[in-house]
Amino acid sequence: MAAPTMDRSTAAAPATPVQTLTISKALNMGLRAAMEANPKVIMMGEDIGKLGGVFRITDGLQKDFGEQRVLDTPLAESGIIGTAVGLAIRGYRPVCEIQFDGFIFPGFDQIVSQVAKLHYRTQGKIKMPIVIRVPFGGGIGAVEHHSESPESYFAHTAGLKVVSCSNPADAYWMIQQAIDCDDPVLFFEPKRRYYEKGEVDTTAQPGKLFESRVLRSGTDATLVAYGPMVRTSLDAANAAAEDGTSLEVIDLRTLSPLDLAPVFESVRRTGRLVVVSEAPSESSIASEIAAKVQQECFYSLQAPVLRVTGFDTPYPPSKLEEEFLPDLDRVLHAVDRSLAW
Amino acid sequence: MSSPEQWTHPEPDAAPAATAAKPTAEQVIAGLRATDEGGADLVQLLTPEGERVTHPDFDIDITPEELRGLYRDMVLIRRVDREANALQRKGQLGIWVPLLGQEAAQIGAGRAMRETDMAFPSYREHGIAWTRGINPTELLGIFRGTDQGTWDPVEKRFHPYTIVIGNQVLNAAGYAMGQKFDGKVGDDDGEATMCFFGDGATSQGDVHEGFVWAAVYDAPLVFFCQNNQWAISEPTERQSRLPLYQRARGYGFPGIRVDGNDVLATLAVTKWALNECRHGNGPILIEAFTYRMDAHTTSDDPTRYRLSDELEMWKLKDPIERVKVYLVRQQWADNEFFDSVEADADKLGEELREFCTNMPDPPAERIFSNVYAEGNPVLEAQRDEFLDYVSGFAGGEH
């Protein structure tokens, strides 16, 4: 089916276009707008109907759109993804919620073998406009399997697109743009930032989905982050400014395809790059950025690209997550190392 | 045999343990192991000897013309299968997946479908493809390595071959849910979906999840399991204690075992099941009890794991011979008919050989084409760099 056009002028716009919202509320409103714009958009997941999702991201949607458009599914992630494939072939645009990052793996086979490959296998005769929403990352004191950062697996898989929002405005727009996209999109939501607030202008023209964005200009070094680490990087840049160090902060937003043009441009000016991510560092998105930057900015670099990441271990018991997760101090320590190189 | 515990812990004086190939009498009586006879619940309308029998629940009115058509379908698809197998032996195909012996199961099921129904195949469903109007030449590229299936799955209502075992069962369940959500279920004009998989696939999580999903959403889905007794080297006993059709009960829908070598019975049972689904009474599981007469693929060597006796016994149950005997005995077909079918088969075989040996290799660009619907600048840069590199060789590409 052709990509549906979202008529933003008739989407139920709130009374005041600029509101202060949490990321979770912005996602909820974005999903609602997408469902209003296109009757083929359906939600699928565990506990997303009556309960509104364990994080309440789909709160109120089943009540307003019915059980046939907001499906409380059986507890089987392969089932959620595998049936979404069939529904997509039938012309629907399924939005699947994976309850927690660490529960996506039963659905991994369907994602990699079918969702990612059907368009290629059929040379475009079948499209897979499926969005898979994944609350990801740590910092919430949870038990095992509830704090992981599995995005690299999906960025490594041809046929998938992978994005992550870091603020309410992006949450509101990016989820709608992901649903509009005719390619399958893994949508990573920074779960420990769900309740952070920011301004959302529901009438503004949003930027493109698959573009990185410079959030703060600086001259001494560049920080690149995505999802929950964007806030950490901005905090680090504020702290560094007090000491007279000017850091540029780039929100990656899209993890596959990577949009590194703003990063290259920045590194050519600053000569120094620190990549910040919660995921383990080996063979990660941070690694890919380091490889591409050394290839494109070889003669501009004043120091090697440094990575500040989670460690190459399983996610630890939560009493240790403060040590495990990159924080402001570890980011600034890496900046100091880069500047002193 | 009174409690489940006793099923797994034989009593001290129990009879000798069964081998994979041969169940004990006790196990057969208890319904715990499949037999080569199919058991008392097997639905059959045409015996291996070509004798028409009745069944209390399933029957079918078939005209001579219809039966001649089914016969012709089976002969032609067997010829396609044998030609493709030979093309692999000649090096024209990298591999082939034979359907020999499963012609009745596939033609019976395929001819029960309407154009508006949807089918999700595994990778041995050449007979189903035939009934969906797919030219057999379109199957060759998959096994020659020139493409991954070229038919339009939406137009033909025949999904691409699925190679990961069981994946397509969930995809089919989702599609059938969509038929229901679209309001296409509930009367004679309703739509239904068929999903094809083998005995080995019944152990996959995706198949169990497909059963659960189709059941709780009342999806119009016919699960069509071709039990050909062997999952490469593993017998059905390695997948299940219970005859496969009996599993359906645990999920809350009917399961029927049909003689998969009997095209009439398969047609009758599948038509019934599709009709139930159209009216909103799905899903339904059909186990077509059949036999894989050839290897799993051309790379397989069945002499390492199964006895030739077994093959000899199943030869007597050939799906095509019994129809021929019945057609002759009823005087529904004469030599002229059988000769014309043979001539059609010869022609089809020749077309297949001709097509296969002239298939061009795809161009290098094909590596990169249609990975995404909306493009990917990173991939496009990689493609351009590679094509530029290739074009740098003297004499052009390659």
Answer for the pair B314, B293: CB distance below 8 angstroms, yes or no.
Answer: yes
Q: What angle do CA A38, A43, A48 make, to 5 degrees?
A: 145
Query: How is the beta sheet containing B118-120 ordered, strand by strand?
Result: B118-120, B193-198, B221-227, B284-289, B255-259
Q: Do A82 and B209 touch (CB under 8 A)?
A: yes
pLDDT at B11 over 70: no
Give yes or no: residues A223 and A192 share one domain: no
Query: How far is A276 from chain B, CA to nearest CA, in Å?
Result: 22
Is residue B292 flagged as an active site residue? yes
Residue A13 falls inside a structural domain? no
Which of A83, A182, A257 lies closest to B373 in CB terms? A182
Using a CB-CB cut-off of 8 Å, the residues of chain A touching B177 are 83, 86-87
The CA distance from B108 to B80, in Å, is 17
Answer for the pair A70, A48: CB distance below 8 angstroms, yes or no.
Answer: yes
pLDDT at A54 over 70: yes
pLDDT at position B309 is: 85
Q: Tokens 């901005």 identify what position?
A: A234
Answer for the pair A175, A34: CB distance below 8 angstroms, yes or no.
Answer: yes
Q: Of the residues A119, A146, A156, A333, which is catalytic?
A: A146
Report the sign of the C-alpha dihedral through residues A82, A87, A90, A94, in that order: negative
The CA distance from A163 to A179, in Å, is 12
Ramachandran angles phi, psi of B191, nearest 5°: -100, 160
A201, A224, A250 - which closes a domain: A201
The CA distance from B113 to B119, in Å, is 9
Give yes or no: residues A230 and A159 share one domain: no
Q: Do A90 and B174 touch (CB under 8 A)?
A: yes
With CA atoms as reference, the chain B residue closest to A93 would be: B178
Of A144, A163, A167, the C-alpha closest to A154 is A163
Q: Do B378 and A258 touch (CB under 8 A)?
A: yes
* Cis-peptide into B16, omega within 30 deg: no
A201, A225, A245 - which closes a domain: A201
Using a CB-CB cut-off of 8 Å, the residues of chain A touching B170 are 78-79, 81-83, 85-86, 110
Answer for the pair B320, B71: CB distance below 8 angstroms, yes or no.
Answer: yes
Give yes or no: residues A154 and A247 share one domain: no
Residue A163 tokens read as 């994005």
pLDDT in tens, B76-110: 999 999 999 999 999 999 999 999 999 999 999 99
Give yes or no: residues A63 and A180 share one domain: yes
Using a CB-CB cut-off of 8 Å, the residues of chain A touching B150 are 123
Give the domain extent around A50.
19-201
Residue A125 tokens read as 């005769």
Domain boundaries along the sequence of chain B? 64-302+328-357, 366-398
Q: Of the residues B157, B159, B247, B292, which is catalytic?
A: B292
pLDDT in tens, A288-299: 999 999 999 999
- If pLDDT is split at 50, 70 and 90, which confidence band does B25 have? low
pLDDT in tens, A65-102: 999 999 999 999 999 999 999 999 999 999 999 999 99
The CA distance from A189 to A297, in Å, is 31
Answer for the pair A200, A168: CB distance below 8 angstroms, yes or no.
Answer: yes
Give yes or no: residues A131 and A252 share one domain: no
Q: Which of A217-221, A235-239, B11-15, B384-388 has the lowest mean pLDDT?
A: B11-15
Residues ≥6 apart with Cβ < 8 Å to B293: B98, B100, B101, B311, B314, B315
Q: Which residues of A touch B (CB under 8 A)?
A: 42, 68, 73-74, 76, 78-79, 81-92, 106, 109-110, 113-114, 118-128, 158-159, 161, 181-183, 257-259
CA distances from residue B52 to A27, A267, B10, B49 in whole angstroms, order as listed: 64, 81, 42, 9
Q: Do B167 and A181 touch (CB under 8 A)?
A: no
Give yes or no: residues A225 and A334 share one domain: yes
> Which CATH number goes with the domain that contains A223?
3.40.50.920
Give bridge partners of residue A163 from the DSSP assignment: A187, A254
Q: What is the mean pLDDT of chain B?
A: 92
Residues ≥6 apart with Cβ < 8 Å to A80: A44, A45, A46, A73, A96, A98, A107
Give yes or no: residues A43 and A164 share one domain: yes
Residues ≥6 apart with Cβ < 8 Å to A39: A69
Which of B152, B209, B372 lies closest to A76 in CB terms? B209
pLDDT at B162 over 90: yes
* Higher pLDDT, residue B397 or A47: A47
Radius of gyration of chain B (CA): 23
Answer for the pair A163, A216: CB distance below 8 angstroms, yes or no.
Answer: no
Give yes or no: residues A117 and A168 share one domain: yes
Residue to test with chain A: of B138, B157, B168, B171, most A Cβ within 10 A: B171
A201, A227, A250 - which closes a domain: A201
Mean of pLDDT values over B317-337: 98
pLDDT at position B396 is: 55
Residue A276 tokens read as 């910040």
Give yes or no: residues A130 and A175 share one domain: yes
Residue to test with chain A: of B151, B158, B177, most A Cβ within 10 A: B177
Which of A74, A87, A123 lies closest to B212 in CB terms? A74
Give yes or no: residues A187 and A280 share one domain: no
The one-letter amino acid code at B42 reads: L
Q: Does residue B78 sit in helix, strand or coil?
A: helix
pLDDT at B397 over 80: no
Which of B147, B173, B179 lies closest to A83 in CB terms? B173
DSSP run (H or E) holding B222: strand B221-227
Residue A131 falls inside a structural domain? yes
Fold of B64-302+328-357: Rossmann fold (3.40.50)
Residue A172 tokens read as 């509101």
Using a CB-CB cut-off of 8 Å, the residues of chain B touching A261 are none
The CA distance from A153 to A188, in Å, is 13
Q: Do A78 and B164 touch (CB under 8 A)?
A: no
CA distances from residue B377 to A2, A201, A253, A283, A284 in whole angstroms, order as listed: 22, 29, 16, 21, 20
- If pLDDT is split at 50, 70 and 90, which confidence band does B275 have? very high
With CA atoms as reference, the chain B residue closest to A110 would be: B167
Structural domain count of chain A: 2
Residue A254 tokens read as 């899209």
Give yes or no: residues A194 and A90 share one domain: yes
Residue A2 falls inside a structural domain? no
With CA atoms as reference, the chain B residue closest to A89 would be: B175
Which B residues, 168 through 187, put their C-beta within 8 Å of a C-beta on chain A? 169-179, 181-182
pLDDT at position B72 is: 98
pLDDT in tens, A15-37: 678 999 999 999 999 999 999 99
* Count of CB atoms situated within 10 Å of the CB of B3: 7
Residue to test with chain A: of B123, B146, B209, B382, most A Cβ within 10 A: B209
Residues ≥6 apart with Cβ < 8 Å to A321: A138, A139, A141, A147, A315
Give yes or no: residues A71 and A170 share one domain: yes
pLDDT in tens, B183-238: 999 999 999 999 999 999 999 999 999 999 999 999 999 999 999 999 999 999 89
pLDDT at position B26 is: 61
Mean of pLDDT values over A143-171: 98
